[in-house]
């Protein structure tokens, strides 16, 4: 399994965490590997599911990471694997913030980085998502 070129610069520490274990800790309000799960992004993944709403790619594990050269805190990123390479999962605003969409959980859904990039700023009505070849 290869790390994607966009995220392999992240400093990664600790064991991978399954979505099941991650969401259980999130619901219980407990930290994992010393990281408090206080990002709204985690709740989007938990509520919307660890699967890309567009292409159906499954998020397989959370990795404990932080940006390089920073003394910042570690956080968790969700990854799936496509063609042997990691794919980062992101949260998508169904109605984009730039078009008046809200930041509430109901307006957010789980999407892989590829689909999110493809969708860009389009609204659900105007979005013509091209499916990746399988
Ligand atoms: Zn996708």
Per-residue DSSP letters for 47-97? HH-SB-TTT-PBP-EEEEEE-TT--PPPEEEEEEEETTEEEEEEEEESS-G
Q: Is residue 3 assigned to a domain?
A: no
Rounded to the nearest angstrom, the distance between the alpha carbon of 52 and the centre of ligand 1 is: 5
pLDDT of residue 121: 61
Rounded to the nearest angstrom, the distance between the alpha carbon of 14 and the centre of ligand 1 is: 26
The dihedral region occupied by 40, where left means phi > 0, alpha psi between -120 and 50, and beta the remainder, is: alpha
DSSP state of 129: P
Task: Please write the tens of the pLDDT for every residue from 120-133.
Answer: 866 655 544 444 55
Q: Is residue 1 assigned to a domain?
A: no
Rounded to the nearest angstrom, the distance between the alpha carbon of 45 and the centre of ligand 1 is: 13
Say how far residue 97 (Cα) sits from the centre of its chain: 18
Task: Please write the tens of the pLDDT for every residue from 26-80.
Answer: 999 999 999 999 999 999 999 999 999 999 999 999 999 998 776 778 999 999 9
Residues contacting 26, CB < 8 A, separation 6+? 37, 42, 43, 46
Domain ranges, residue 67: 11-119
Q: Is residue 4 assigned to a domain?
A: no
Give the predicted TM-score (pTM) of the model.
0.85
Rounded to the nearest angstrom, the distance between the alpha carbon of 132 and the centre of ligand 1 is: 8
d(CA 121, CA 129): 12
Give the H/E segment covering residue 112: strand 108-112
The model's confidence at residue 134, banded by pLDDT at 50, 70 and 90, is very low
Rounded to the nearest angstrom, the distance between the alpha carbon of 55 and the centre of ligand 1 is: 4
Residue with the bigger pLDDT between 120 and 18: it is 18
Rounded to the nearest angstrom, the distance between the alpha carbon of 71 and the centre of ligand 1 is: 31
Q: Is residue 54 assigned to a domain?
A: yes
Rounded to the nearest angstrom, the distance between the alpha carbon of 27 and the centre of ligand 1 is: 25
Rounded to the nearest angstrom, the distance between the alpha carbon of 111 and the centre of ligand 1 is: 5
pLDDT of residue 42: 98
What's the total number of domains in the chain?
1
Q: Is residue 69 assigned to a domain?
A: yes
Q: Is residue 129 assigned to a domain?
A: no
Rounded to the nearest angstrom, the distance between the alpha carbon of 54 and the centre of ligand 1 is: 5
């Amino acid at each position: 399994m290869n790390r994607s070129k966009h995220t392999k610069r992240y400093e990664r520490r600790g064991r991978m965490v399954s979505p099941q274990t991650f969401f259980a800790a999130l619901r219980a309000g407990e930290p994992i590997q010393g990281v408090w799960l206080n990002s709204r992004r985690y709740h989007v993944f938990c509520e919307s599911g660890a699967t890309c709403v567009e292409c159906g790619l499954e998020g397989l594990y959370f990795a404990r990471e932080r940006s390089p050269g920073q003394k910042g805190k570690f956080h968790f990123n969700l990854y799936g694997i496509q063609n042997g390479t990691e794919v980062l999962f992101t949260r998508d605003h169904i109605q984009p913030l730039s078009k008046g969409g809200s930041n509430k959980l109901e307006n957010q859904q789980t999407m892989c980085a590829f689909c999110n990039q493809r969708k860009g700023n389009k609204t659900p009505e105007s979005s013509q998502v091209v499916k990746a070849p399988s």
